[in-house]
Structure formats: C-alpha cells, structure tokens
Amino acid sequence: MNDILIQNTTAFFEKSFGTSPEKTVLSPGRINIIGEHIDYNDGYVLPAAIDKIICFAFGKKNSKTSKVIAIDLNEEFEIDLTQEVKLSDVVWTNYIRGVIKQLQDNGFSFEGFNCVFSSNIPVGSGLSSSAALECGMIFGIKSLFDLKLEKKDIALLGQKAEHWVGINCGIMDQFSSVHGLENKVIQLDCNTLDFEYHNADFKDYSLILFDSNVKHSLFTSEYNTRRIECEEGLSIIKSHFPEVKSFRDATEEQVLSLKDKFSGKVFSRVHFVVKEINRVIKACKALDAGNIELLGELLFETHYGLSQEYEVSCEELDMLVDTAKEDETIVGSRLMGGGFGGCTINLVKKGHENEVKRKFSKLYLDTFGIELKFYDVKISNGTTLL
Ligand code: ADP
Ligand code: MG
C-alpha cells in the first residue's frame, strides 16, 4: 500500500516541477498501546509508530519562497521565507507554516523548497496525522539543507508547531512518529523524555483499530476540565503526603485514604491516573513476558477506567469495548486517544480477523446507523528518508 503512495507522490512531484525529488521522506502515524491521559499527569505512555504514513517529496527551489502541495486536498500554497510567518484560514497550511516558524525562531536557516505530500493516515481518527505532517516536514527541510537536528529536537519542534496552530498537545505523538522502530513499542517518560524500547510481539493476536467514525464536540472542553481536576487532585495528595512530588510517587492506598478530601469528581479522576500509571508498567512486563492475555486484561481495565472514572468515553466506544469483552476471540480492547470518539485498539486472535470485522460492522451499523472502519496496523519505523 505504501509503495503505491510513494510512486504517486514521486510522480506528482515530477509532473509539478519537471525534476525528480531530491529527498523523499516517510513519516508515520502512531498508536498508543496503554497509558491514556497520563502524558500530562507525570506518567509513562507506550506508543509506537505504524505502517500508515505521509509521503513527502522535496526539492530545492533556488529562491526565497517555498511551494507546498497537498495532493489529497488538491490544494497548494506558497510562502515567502523572508516575511514573518502568520496563521492562515487554511488549516492544513498552518502545520507547515508552524514548522517553518519554529525552525526560523530556533535559529535554523534554509532556502526555498518545493514539496508535495500525500497520506494514507486517516485524518482526525486519533492516529496523529498532524504529528506525522509536522515531523515529516521538519525531517525533509533538515535533510535538504543539512540542518543539525537530532530526533528529539524534531519531535520538540513539531510539538511547538502544533501549539502554535492552537492545540496544546503533549509530546507523545511527535516523539513516537520520530522515534518509532519496527516491532518495538516505546515506553516514554513524558516528563524527562527518557525512553526504552520493548518488543512488540503480540504472538497469536493481531492489532486492529476499529474507527467509530464519531467525534463528539465535548473533547476540548472536557480535556481542559480534566487537566484542572487533576491539578487540584495532585495538590490535595501533596498537602497530605509531602513526599509525593508527582502522580508517579502516589500510591492507590494514599488516594483511597483521602477519598473524602477530594471534591466532586476529583477522586475518580485521580484514582484513574494513579492506577493507569501502574498499568503501563504492568503492560511492559506483560509484553516482555509474552503474556498477551494479561496485556489484553490491562487494556480492558484502562477502558473501564477511562469510561467510568475519567469519563471521556461515549456510547459508541463503550458498545465496541463491551462487545469485545464478550467476544472470546478478542483478548483486549480500549478506546485509544483523548476519547469522545476516534478508534478503539483491539487484540484479535489470528485467523478470526474477518469474522470479527463482519460481526462488528453489522452490529455497529444496526445500532448507530454508522459505518465502522477497520485499520490493520503493523508497528513500523519512525520518520525516515526513503
Ligand atoms: P489527527 O488525530 O489525525 O492528528 P488532527 O485534527 O490533530 O487529527 O490533525 C488533522 C489535520 O492535519 C487536518 O485537519 C489537516 O489540517 C492536517 N492533515 C493531516 N493529513 C493531511 C493530508 N493528507 N493533507 C493535508 N492536511 C493534512
Ligand atoms: Mg493530531
């Protein structure tokens, strides 16, 4: 599938600019096995890059302007690199403007370039097409003009570009798009950016994403509320247990002992966070031991925590996970990403993939009148030159 994407992107560059591209960059989307909503709560996450990518073809332009073509949208724009970079009404161009701005603001100088890009990462389904876009652009400009940028710098600049566009994201998406390795998951400490690879051998199970095809508008407001609730919860824990500096230091027992000290929903939020941080550690051990059934159990636990305690699920996602829980050929399932829509991640027994897809498609369509989409994912390399 990626071969055709690469051929088409290359051909489009040649047709548009009359020469072959000088650099071709492949930049992947990502999944997160476990560790949800804890990137901003001092936790570890367990993401991986996948075999869905944006392909970019780059060439020097020998001028002070750059031209970028989004093949999938059939749109293009030009930017004068000598002028101050400003936000535009055309959203996709902002990710590119943001990248150019971050590189310039951080002292990197480069000349004009031509770029065309095309993608097979579904947009807005939680596979982080935006991070793939930012990191692929930075990687391409770096390669074309020999900029001294380490992988970590690319991820951090990509994140800053996304903040500039207006999304206050954590570092996980860009980090995993850049640092991904085939058949490895990345245990990432979002505070320090320390990371460790673990083998991603799912044995008798296939990783399949079920795309609910819904995106409820609650996402942004609830996300901000959760951040405030967690800050409040942490300060209460700290005031009773001075040795606790971050959620990572807190135990479930401590949280339970303070149950009547938290207001409103704060107890449930904090209880989820402390348990989720522990689940990531357990999940790494389960993967290392090849115990995929245990890993699957942890995924279900995460889902029910996200749904009942953290309250970021929705009826469509809950139905998909409840149905998976009853299905003997699925050992693990949970909502993946921020919630209120997007995908569930599932571990499906090999040989049963088609039957599972048929069953879930029909049930989902009958219940919600919405088509369920499926993405088979393989864990693959991070942003790279072809
Ligand atoms: P995701 O979960 O996929 O990252 P976002 O809303 O964060 O969803 O980012 C999606 C945005 O990234 C799109 O609205 C668009 O502006 C940009 N984008 C992603 N893929 C493409 C593409 N193939 N062509 C043009 N723009 C893209
Ligand atoms: Mg995104």
Give one DSSP letter per residue of 330-374, joined into a string.
Answer: EEEEEE-SSSSEEEEEEEEETT-HHHHHHHHHHHHHHHHS---EE
| Encoded tokens for 155 | 């991820």
User: Which of 69, 123, 375 has most ligand 1 atoms within 8 Å of its beta carbon, as the pocket-test mutant?
Assistant: 123
d(CA 34, CA 281): 10
**pLDDT at residue 224 in the model:** 84
Q: Residues with Cβ within 6 A of ligand 1?
A: 70, 72-73, 91-92, 95, 119, 123-124, 126-130, 133
Report CA(104)–ligand 2 centroid distance (Å). 23
Report yes or no: 274 and 28 within 8 Å, Cβ to Cβ. Answer: no
In sequence order, which residues have a C-beta less than 8 Å from that of residue 323 and are 6 or more positions away? 360, 363
Q: Quick one: pLDDT at residue 142?
A: 98
pTM for the predicted model, two decimal places: 0.95
CA 121 to ligand 1 center in whole angstroms: 9
CB-based neighbours (< 5 A) of ligand 2, an ion: 128, 130
Q: Which atom of ligand 1 is the closest one to the Cα of 118? A: 23
Mean pLDDT within 54-81: 97
Closest CA to 126 of 214, 187, 256, 27: 214
Across 322-337, average pLDDT: 97
Give catalytic residues, as residue numbers: 173
Residue of minimum CA distance from atom 16 in ligand 1 = 92
Smallest CA separation from ligand 1 atom 26, residue: 92
Mean pLDDT of 146-160: 97
The closest residue, in CA terms, to atom 6 on ligand 1 is: 124
Q: Which of these ranges, 14-23, 146-155, 222-231, 339-348, has the smallest mean pLDDT? A: 222-231
Q: How far is the CA of 92 from the centre of ligand 1 (A)?
A: 7
- Walk me through the domains of the chain, giving residue ranges and CATH numbers: 2-202 (3.30.230.10), 205-377 (3.30.70.890)
| Dihedrals phi, psi of 70, to nearest 5 degrees | -95, 100
Write down the mean pLDDT value for the chain.
96
Check: CB of residue 115 under 8 Å from CB of residue 344. Answer: no
pLDDT band at 88 (very low <50, low <70, confident <90, very high): very high
Cβ–Cβ under 8 Å, residues 357 and 27: no
